Chain A
């Protein structure tokens, strides 16, 4: 232990910590723009500077290690003047369009200017003018609002290993861009939206489809169908502070009905369907010597990543469409026929924790007869805005069941939202399909944590299955390289693009830390433990749709509607 003085008070701490870590532990909040928990500091924003006795200049607390005997001042005049000046310098060229900025409620720059009491313009300069990059179906980039903190670059490169963007040019001309400053849809961007999650300003936002959805809702000629992903309900419950006793999905359905959606379905249903198809596909590959390991295909960022970075592995991906797209194609075929609605008159909205889903819905190999199966994808964030827009008082919402036919889901389908969930659900059904019996203990605890790489082995009938679960494309890439080098052998691998799986998706509300993500996971496990139907193959709706329409898993209809022949995008 060493002791230091912080604002004249002696504090004991251990060496090897940065000054910032010590200060935060002491409950002193120091503003930072470029700091990222768990990453080596870059020291670029200088917002975290503190005064240390006998140091000639101010000291960046994020990168400087604490030393015995340091006398630190965190809010001296010199420090405050420096921080405020830095902020004022940023504001000098930052566009003044906060009123019209999609980030106004979550903008850290705006928060800082309020916290630091910025009330005049000491430095006047021409506002940055840069072309907005709107070509991607997932992400809108507005470089004029970029303060060059570099967090997006680091997430993209160091966590996802996608490297779609980097700093380009130098000095005052520096900006974040892809090669040749092309639009990011021409880059290796996979649309995961993790960059949006770390952006402190409105420089990175999702491509919004709120207007399209509102228009459809107000168009009497349209039958507006909505589905929502399993992650959305638990997140909404957390964000809206719902009573833990109520079933969040039921409240959500109530909200959607109130908004005027004609039919509300749950992506959990098509997740069950995915499990039926995917576990059958796994068994087929096991029995017929198909390509192993089989990779899950429900995370569109991951699918895009494989296609862009490891194209030779494309056929290792399961041919199953994602649950969003499965439901999309069923709604406009099976369901439309049964309801006698022309598929052109259906407007299908998907509410997802994800920005990559927006691009997925536009994929050419996922069109049916040239038409999109999903007409608009909203993120959880957009959905929260939609609630406000409709002036809905959540406490007064009555719970409502989802619409039947494509409505019911097992808790296995619900688990899709958490990393490891698809694997768990698939193994439950695979076990049944192989042995004819349900697993005695359906919970696979080794897959239920926030580690980025999990694996387990289990015996199913005559098969000794070895499976792995990873999230984050950096971790996925590591695994792929190991598999390619032959160091590891698996039968089935689940990959989720985002931290913790969909609950940590790029379309989720801002400010999600590990704790929040863990909470969402726990909520899912709680639902699973409470539910009666915990196996996809026991879901009555699933049984019905196979009986009435699809026939059997991997059958002709399934191949037509639920599987994809991937083409180069």
Chain B
């Protein structure tokens, strides 16, 4: 139920969908409007306080209910909270499901706001801990181990000895523009978005900017495409604007397919209206009357929230015909992807919307000239569009102040892998990799050493320890052979094998190549074959299993990589070999160890590894023999066991279950 959509301060307020009013958004947000008398304004201000839960009497529990929260058990936690509230006669508490605040590794997150007091946030609240936590908090006891901090609010009373939520290490190094609402507001409520300044940017451009001015503003901001390519957004808009066509399309690319990336999902789950607002602004800028949001079907929650957002925006007259009395009509449709990584590529994505196989086509013609259904089309990624309202509201100059010479603003990363605090982080361009890993991420997990960060997914590269001080901006990343990419940032410790990582990405590409052009379809297969040969996996051709062939393979690898890059049809193919080139550059010694010594020091490449039982340590407990799925472990009870290597499938169960550290790995000793 949208409070604001029903809201009328007095009889002078006559806004209806049929008779929209241009100042509606400003009016609701408590700013100047058509009839500016103090009583009305006060009414509106009070309204906002209700929505923002700042009346001083609000009783609210927020729960992190994004995909990460749910995966961590948020639903079970929610049920327990409801049970507790019912049991303790506290049913007047509002339970609000919010998106992810970014601290995914601390999910499920539960925030509690007692009447008149500031909102407190607690980490890792599993279902079984709910009762204890609520008992404590409701009696004023705050567990130091659980509390993350409080959200400062001038209208509410702060908690003593509880730090500001945003001063903790994870947030202190971040600069949150796009994520400002994520995990904080109710993503299912357009009211809470408007109450925090939402849709003012759209109102502003509809009221007072020409399309040219808007394109210029975005161009001046220095914003570059956040989906991976890094093409200047303003220029892209101008191309599409310049085309004279009665029908133009705008597409929001939410087909976030890079493995290790979830920024777009989190933005949509946490703040769907921001994306919608950006999309509407872009549509207005280029003169598009129809828009699509192409979203992965693997993101059901994000789809659900977007659907709701679209519906609510329509109720407010923010999309549809004659938006806010501007004579502008924009329709937005949701299109679900069907599971194809390559559909992140612009032309493939358009083919998919048209109901075809998602295969890219040659450019030119560029989508801005001939795109969806052969009409001029602008395609922007979720994060790019979500940045737009901020730029419009605060001005290009404010945005330009952030970042480096050629990389302006902020960038969101999905931080994961061997890192203590995994999650979603938004940093100012120019922040060093070191500060993301060590400060924000809290360092490599399990006290291990940093080996490399994989940035940019299958199109990107890795950043080895010697470059950990690299500044995160488009140019610096390129210089070290990596790329910004869409924002996947996977940290790897020293137990990871880089040849295996390269092989992993080639396997991914082999699975996801559309199969259209020969270099990508056939070339990446051969690269994978060579990597499998190096890592000793079953080879298609046994005669190739010798050091000379393996060494020659490295030579072919470089040539193949070059040709694939030079000739592939789309960006997916052109960058497909990057992980190989990059690991080969920085971890050549690891490749050589695999090739010449048939050794994988990290023990990851199982074909080059053998499991052994140390007879001195083995007590003959038989546990490993019982757990071995291949029956490869022999030995009598209470006598040392041994592994029959020809039967061993190298699953590692024995190593895992042994309580006496008797099982060990050997490599390169053949």
Contacts and interface: CB of A to CB of B under 8 A. Distances in A.
**Bind each other:** yes
Interface of A: 41-47, 49, 57-58, 60, 63-65, 78, 81-82, 85-86, 89-90, 92-93, 122-126, 147-148, 167, 169-174
A44 B526 contact: no
A174 to B, nearest CB: 3
Contact of B522 (A89, A126, A170): A89
B243 interface: no
A46 B522 contact: no
23 contacts: A42-B516, A43-B361, A43-B569, A47-B518, A49-B567, A57-B567, A58-B566, A60-B362, A64-B362, A81-B559, A85-B523, A85-B559, A86-B519, A86-B563, A86-B567, A90-B518, A124-B540, A124-B541, A126-B541, A148-B515, A148-B521, A169-B515, A170-B515
Contact of B518 (A58, A65, A81, A86): A86
Interface in B150-206: none
B205 to A, nearest CB: 35
B478 interface: no
B148 interface: no
Contact of B517 (A45, A122, A170): A45
B567 A92 contact: no
Interface stretch (B98-106, B123-131, B505-513): B505-513
Contacts of A60: 362, 569
A257 to B, nearest CB: 49
A65 B559 CA distance: 28
Given A57-B565, A89-B518, A171-B514, 17 more contacts: A42-B516, A43-B361, A43-B569, A44-B518, A46-B519, A46-B567, A57-B566, A58-B566, A82-B566, A82-B567, A86-B519, A125-B540, A126-B541, A167-B515, A171-B510, A171-B513, A173-B515
A172 B567 contact: no
A125 B529 contact: yes
B634 interface: no
Nearest to A65: B364
B544 interface: yes
A85 B560 contact: yes
Interface string B532-574: 0000000011001000000000001001100101111100001
Given A42-B361, A64-B362, A93 B522 contact: yes
Nearest to A91: B522
Contacts of B513: 170-172
B196 to A, nearest CB: 43
Contacts of A63: 362, 364
Contacts of B563: 81-82, 85-86
Size bracket, chain B contacts: 35 or more
Residue among B522, B541, B560 with the highest chain A CB neighbour number at 10 A:
B522
B567 A58 contact: yes
A47 B566 CA distance: 12
B235 interface: no
A198 to B, nearest CB: 18
A171 B567 contact: no
A57 B564 CA distance: 10
B357 interface: yes
Nearest to A84: B563
Contacts of A78: 566
List 7 A-B pairs, minimum CB-CB distance, nearest first: A174-B515, A43-B362, A63-B362, A89-B522, A171-B513, A85-B563, A171-B515
B340 interface: yes
B525 interface: yes
B587 to A, nearest CB: 24
Contacts of A89: 518-519, 522-523, 526
Nearest to B540: A126
B529 A46 contact: no
A43 B569 CA distance: 7
A86 B563 CA distance: 8
A125 B515 CA distance: 17
B21 to A, nearest CB: 48
Given A81-B559, A125-B540, A172 B510 contact: yes
A42 B540 CA distance: 32
Contacts of A64: 362, 364
Nearest to B512: A171
A89 B515 CA distance: 13
Contacts of A57: 565-568, 574
Contacts of A147: 518
A353 to B, nearest CB: 33
Given A57-B566, A89-B523, A172-B525, A44 B517 contact: yes
A413 to B, nearest CB: 46
B529 A41 contact: no
Contacts of A173: 515
B560 A172 contact: no
B517 A46 contact: yes
Contacts of A171: 510-515, 521
Contacts of B340: 170
Contacts of A58: 566-567
A41 B522 contact: no
Contacts of A46: 517-519, 567-569
Nearest to A122: B556
A265 to B, nearest CB: 48
Nearest to B559: A85
B611 to A, nearest CB: 30
Residue among A123, A148, A171 with the highest chain B CB neighbour number at 10 A:
A171
A90 B521 CA distance: 10
A90 B515 CA distance: 13
Contacts of B512: 170-171
B262 to A, nearest CB: 23
A195 to B, nearest CB: 19
Nearest to A124: B541
Contacts of B559: 81, 85
A425 to B, nearest CB: 43
Residue among A58, A122, A124, A172 with the highest chain B CB neighbour number at 10 A:
A172
A172 B556 CA distance: 20
B566 A123 contact: no
Contacts of B522: 86, 89-90, 92-93, 172
A177 to B, nearest CB: 13
A125 B524 CA distance: 13
Contacts of B515: 148, 167, 169-174
Nearest to B556: A122
Contacts of A92: 522, 526
A85 B559 CA distance: 9
Nearest to A173: B515
A232 to B, nearest CB: 37
A86 B529 CA distance: 16
B357 A167 contact: yes
Given A57-B565, A89-B519, A172-B521, A124 B362 contact: no
Contacts of B568: 46, 57
Residue among A49, A63, A82, A170 with the highest chain B CB neighbour number at 10 A:
A170
A92 B521 CA distance: 12
